[in-house]
Amino acid sequence: MTVREIFRLLIKDKLGAIGIGILLFFIILAILAPFISPYDPTIENFRADGSFARMDPPSLQHLLGTTRMGRDVLSQVIAGTRVALYVGLTSAVMVTLIGTVIGLVSAYFGGWVDDLLMRFTDIVYGVPFLPFTMILVAILGPSIWNIIFAIILISWRTTARVIRAEVLTLKERTFIQAAKLTGASHRRIIFHHLAPNILPLSLVYSSLAMGWAILTEASISFLGYGDPFLMSWGKILFDAYVAQAINDAWWWVVPPGLAITLLVMSGFFVSRSLEEVLNPRLRRL
C-alpha cells in the first residue's frame, strides 16, 4: 500500500484522526517552544506589587498559574513537550529497530539462535521494570540518555515476541518458499520479502512504545531520578508533590498530567488505526 493510501485510511477512523491531530499539535508545540513560551520556565516571577509570585492561581499574566518558586506553569509545560517527544520518539524508533531485528533473526534462522534469543527474552521478562530502571539510573547517573537506555533495554522484548510470531507464520507462506526454491539469498528474503510485510506491525508497536516510554520517563522523574537539567512533565509533578501542593495548587498538578495523558492516548489511537490498516477485517466500512 502506498503511503498516501495508508494515511487516508488512518484519517478515516475518527480516533485515528484525533490521534494524529494531537501528535501533530504537540510536535508543533515542541518545535515552536522557545518562541511561544510566555516566560523562561526556570526564572522566578514577581507580581505587580513586587512580591514573589508564589503559587498564584491562573490569571491573565500566568495562564496556568505559578509554582511555589514563582515559575510560570504554562512555560514549564511547553518546555516539557520537547523532552517528552524526544524521549518518546527516540525510544520508539530504537525499540522498534532492535525488537524487529531480534524477532526477525530469531524466527528466520530458528534452531539454537531462536532458543538462545527467546531464553534471553524470557529472563528479561522476569525483571520488574520500574525498580530495574531506578537501579540503572542510580548507577549510570540521572541523565536523559541513561533513562532512554534503560527504557529501550526493557521495552524491546514485546516487539521482538510479536515480530517473531509474525515471521514464523510468514516463513511458511508460499511466496517465501518460492523465493527460497529459486535460490534467493538470506539477505534478499529478509530485506526484500519479509521486511515490507512486517513493517506495519512494527509501526503498531512503535506507537505503543512511544506511549510507554513517555509514561516511564514521567514515573522515573516523579520518583526523583529524573534528569535534573531537563524540565520534563514528570519533573513538574515531582516538584508539585514535594512542595505538597496537591491540596492547594490544582493548576500546577493538572496540566502536566493531562499533557502526558493526551500524548500517550494519541499513541494508542494511532496504533489502533494502524492495526485496522493492517487487518482489513477490523475496518468499519
- Tell me if 221 sits within 8 A of 148, measured CB to CB: no
Of 52 and 129, CB closest to other proteins: 129
Of 177 and 279, CB closest to other proteins: 279
Of 110 and 141, CB closest to other proteins: 141
Whole-angstrom CA distances from 57 to 44, 62, 110, 145, 167 are: 15, 8, 61, 35, 55
* Beta-ladder partners of 52: 46
CA 18 to chain CA centroid, nearest Å: 17
Does 25 bind other proteins (CB under 8 A)? Our answer is no
Q: How far is the CB of 56 from other proteins (least distance, A)?
A: 18
Site for other proteins in 196-215 (CB under 8 A): 211, 215
Of the candidates 234, 235, 273, 274, which one interacts with other proteins according to CB under 8 A? Answer: 234
Tell me which amino acid residue 142 is: P
Tell me which amino acid residue 216 is: T
Q: How far apart are CA 94 and CA 241, in angstroms?
A: 32
Of the candidates 129, 171, 184, 283, which one interacts with other proteins according to CB under 8 A? Answer: 129
* DSSP assignment of 21-80: HHHHHHHHHHHTHHHH-SS-TTS--B-TTS-B-TTPPS-SSSTT-B-TTS-BHHHHHHHH
Of the candidates 128, 182, 183, 280, which one interacts with other proteins according to CB under 8 A? Answer: 128
Of the candidates 55, 97, 118, 223, which one interacts with other proteins according to CB under 8 A? Answer: 223
Does 250 bind other proteins (CB under 8 A)? Our answer is yes
* Beta-ladder partners of 162: none
Q: How far apart are CA 207 and CA 70, in angstroms?
A: 36
Does 253 bind other proteins (CB under 8 A)? Our answer is yes
Site for other proteins in 131-170 (CB under 8 A): 131-132, 134-136, 138-139, 141
Of 169 and 247, CB closest to other proteins: 247
Interface contacts to other proteins, rule CB under 8 A:
122-123, 125-132, 134-136, 138-139, 141, 211, 215, 218-219, 222-224, 234, 237, 240-241, 246-247, 250, 253-254, 256-257, 260-262, 264-265, 267-268
